[in-house]
Structure 1
Amino acid sequence: MNSQLAVNNLKSAIELNPNKWQELAKTDSDFVKIRQHADFKQLIRQSQESRNQKSRKKSKK
């Protein structure tokens, strides 16, 4: 399994539909093999931070 390719594909999916793919990445069994990889953890952390920032900006309006 190419973990880096899986993380890159997940990143693309998150960019298209963050709500769906962030949750699936954390809970779906298809991601078990890459969840412990540093790149996976970093991607989830960054995408969650980005999502939180967007949410805060919307609530300020």
Structure 2
Amino acid sequence: MKKLFVFGCVAVLGAAALASCKKDYTCTDSDGTTITYSKLSKTEATAAESGCALIGGTWKKK
């Protein structure tokens, strides 16, 4: 029973850690316009960063 409890705690903490991996980013274009992207996963952030680069913008993590 003790092993099952420990395993359950580890599973819950692991799920919580993965859920909090989303971050906020900004893209500022050459005109000074800033677009804020909230709670993006790593895959989403990579795609948005590519789009920001296409318009000549600066990509930053908040």
So what's the TM-score if we normalise by structure 2?
A: 0.30
Could you say which structure has the higher helix fraction?
1
Could you say which structure has the higher strand fraction?
2
Q: Answer with 1 or 2: which has the greater Rg.
A: 2
